[in-house]
Every structure is written in structure tokens, then in C-alpha cells.
Structure 1
Amino acid sequence: MSLASKSVGRRERNKQEKLERITAAAKELFSVHGVDEVTTQQIADKADIGTGTLFLYAKTKGELLLLVQNSSYVDALERGRAAAGKTLDVLDAVMAIVRPVVECNRTQIDNGRTYLREMLFGDPEEPHHRDALALSVETEEAIVGVLRRDESVGEPEAVAQARIISAIMFVSMAATVNIGSSVEDLLQDIRRQAEVLLGPKKKRQADT
């Protein structure tokens, strides 16, 4: 290996190590104090880097929140896919995907709601915002895969239904009226709406 290759490899490792420190620092501070009460200086200090370096990885506090929540969302979606793969009933499988996403978002309610606002209104050119939108698309694709188990459901119908279910989930999590709702309350509400959308045949799919 050339010296140039070793140098590039070392730089990439250093960048990754700093990114992990920033993510861990922001996650802890946001979890304990809430995103509104934490400053970028506090995050930089906890990550043991300068604020200038911090802004190379995320230009705003909103982007830092996206970075933190995205990493949790990835794990939640993976758990949801795995659970759905073991669930025969279509509606139950859809909710198996939805459950860990809702649980992830409601770990700290204010942070979760701010995350959703950043997804909607943040700068789409920022990398962490793009990652958040990509995760939303992946969630819809996972739901499409479940809905397509029913051979009578075509791709366009499944895509439209998955988009509606995703919208139901995000609106339920973001709505001010639901601030005091528990995770189980939200899941029951989402399930009721999904059941109306999908119809009784989806509920019976496991028995056919």
C-alpha cells in the first residue's frame, strides 16, 4: 500500500471516529436536556472537538438532531422489517414495521416532533436531511413489500396505500393533540386508520 493510500485511509478513519463522537455526544445531550436546551458549543465540548470542526459534519442544530435520530431510525426500521418477516397477517406485519419507528420517535417526545419538522421543512440539500427522507422512502418500500403479499394488490395500489399509511404514522407522531398520548395509544390509532384503508381482506390474509 502506498503512503498516499495509507494517508487517505487514516483520514477516513479519523473522520468516522469524529462523526461517532459527535453523534454520541449529541444523542446524550438531546436525550437528557431536549434539543431546545442544548447548544452546539456543548455538543462540541462533549465530543472534544472545536465548533468549526462540528460544523463540517452538521451546519445546524437541526442537522445534528437529524444525524442522531437517523441513526436510531435505521435500527428501528431494521427491527420492523425483521418482525414483519415473521408475521403472516398483513395488517399485523404492517404494524410490526410501524411499531419500532413510533417507539424510536417517542423516546423523547419533543425531540421526536422536532425531528419530523426538520424532515418537512429542513434544507433538502443537507446530507442528514436527505438521509431522513431516504429513510421515510425505505419505510414505505417495506410496507409495500408486505402489502404485495396479497397477489390481488398491484404495485400502484400498494405504493399508494403505503404512502398513506406512512403519512398517517408521521401525522400521528407530530400532531400537537397527541403530545400526551402513549406509544400504545398512537399505535392503536394508526392501526384503526390502516385497517379502514386496507379493508377486512388484509386482516384475513393470514388465514387464506
Structure 2
Amino acid sequence: MSPHTPATGPAVPSTPGAPSSLSALSGAAPKPGLRERKKIQTRQTIRRAAYRLFAEHGYDATPVDRIAEAADVSPSTVFRYFPTKEDIVLTDEYDDAMAALLRARPADEPPLSALRAMMREALGRVLDDPAERDEMLQREELMRNVPAIRARSHESMSVTGRLLGSVLAERTGQPADSLEIRVFTATVFTALHETTSYWSEEGHEEQLLDLIDRSLTFISGGMKF
């Protein structure tokens, strides 16, 4: 998740060895079945191994077969869960949880206010989890420094935008593919992308949630300087 966080929702009680992303947004989405939980754990095991190797050797110097070995799975298993190496960085388990949080907002709440509250709650939970925060910081660094990941990040962000746009469509009675929904979600998620990029480039000196509030306030005010 991040503004770049796309996948299945984590609502599994925190247990020893369970992926940290399952606990950060615990309770935000319906509990997945055992099979799905095992898939999530395998994805997280691969991702953690990859991040550890990226930190030690660099992204470009870390081949998929080395990631597979570190995660104790086969290369084909890595590719089954992540079609490309970039997807290891850009895929997470937050999207369904974010959608659930957005659906739970008061029905009469304006769309931008609902999104702001959802992002504050979701990101707040992630930032309060040391393991999740570290992973988020590493993801942002990789997105900033690796052209292939940076290029794919917009595609990843659009997946999240379409999912949350469908929830906003439910809330407003608009068709999910309406121009208004598409422009709204594109505007908000572009702002979130630029905000997290700014936060990363500035060395994380300011609070990310405060920067997001600032960006969304700027949008709601008509983007007047």
C-alpha cells in the first residue's frame, strides 16, 4: 500500500511468523480463508527476502533465483506470485483493507473527506508498525532510484485507484467508469504519489500524514496558490 499499494486485504490476527502486513490493517477487511492466508504469507516471505537482498547487494545485482533461494522457494514460485521482479516491490496486501475502510465511512461524508479519513487511518496503522514503516521506506527508496520500478509504479497506482474508485461509485451512485469518478481518483492518487515522493526526497523530515492533509486541502480549495 501506499499510494502504491495494491492487493488482498489483511485481516488475520497477528501470530508468530505471520506477515507484518497482516497485522497493520488487521480487522479492516473480511478475514481471508486458510488458503489465501498461506498465499499472503508466501508473498510476504518472498518480499522480505527480496528487500533484505536489495539492501545488501542492490536491486539490479539481485537476480530472482537468489531471491527464491533466500525465501526457500523455487524461482517458478516467485514468478507465480510476482510476474516480474518489479512486482515484488509494487505488490502488497493493502488494497482490500483500504476499500473496506472506505466503505465503512459515514454514507453522507463527502468523497474527498472520506478518502482523507481512510488514508489517515490506513497509513497511520502502517506507520505505527516499525516493520511496515521500514518496508514502506525501502519501497519508496527503490521507486525513487530504480527506473524500472518507477515506470511501473503508475500502473500499480492505477489499480488501487480503480478499486477505490469503484467504492466511491457505490457511495455516490455514479457509474464506476464515469468521467467524474475517473478524474477524481486520478487527481487524488496523483497527489498522493507526489506527496509520498516529496516526503521521501526530503528525507522524511515532515510527517507523511500531515503532508497528505496539506495536499488534499490544496485540492479541496481549488488548488489556488
Q: TM-score, normalised by structure 2?
A: 0.54
The share of aligned pairs that are identical, in percent, is 13
1:26 equivalent among 35, 46, 50:
46
After TM superposition, give the deviation of residue 64 of structure 1 in Å: 1.5
Question: Using a 3 Å threshold, how does the CA distance of structure 1 residues 161 and 72 change in structure 2: closer, same or farther?
Answer: closer
Is there any run of 5+ residues in structure 2 with no aligned partner, and where?
1-34
Paired amino acid for 2:187: I
2:186 equivalent among 138, 153, 163:
163
What is the CA–CA distance in structure 1 between the aligned matches of 2:216 and 2:209, rounded to whole Å? 10
Question: Using a 3 Å threshold, how does the CA distance of structure 1 residues 101 and 87 change in structure 2: closer, same or farther?
Answer: farther
- 1:74 and 2:96 aligned: yes
Trace 1:1-208 onto structure 2 (pairs within 5 A): 19-29=39-49, 33=52, 35-37=54-56, 39=62, 40-41=64-65, 43-67=67-91, 69=92, 71-82=93-104, 84-85=105-106, 88-100=109-121, 102-103=123-124, 104=126, 107=133, 108-112=136-140, 114=142, 121-122=151-152, 133-143=158-168, 148=172, 156-175=179-198, 176-180=200-204, 181-197=206-222
Name whichever of 57-66 and 15-24 sits farther off: 15-24
How many aligned residue pairs are there? 171
Q: TM-score, normalised by structure 1?
A: 0.58
What is the CA–CA distance in structure 2 between the aligned matches of 1:144 and 1:99, rounded to whole Å? 21
RMSD value, Cα: 4.2
**Structure with more helix by fraction:** 1
2:24 maps to none
What is the CA–CA distance in structure 2 between the aligned matches of 1:94 and 1:101, rounded to whole Å? 10
Is there any run of 5+ residues in structure 1 with no aligned partner, and where?
1-14, 200-208
After TM superposition, give the deviation of residue 111 of structure 1 in Å: 0.7
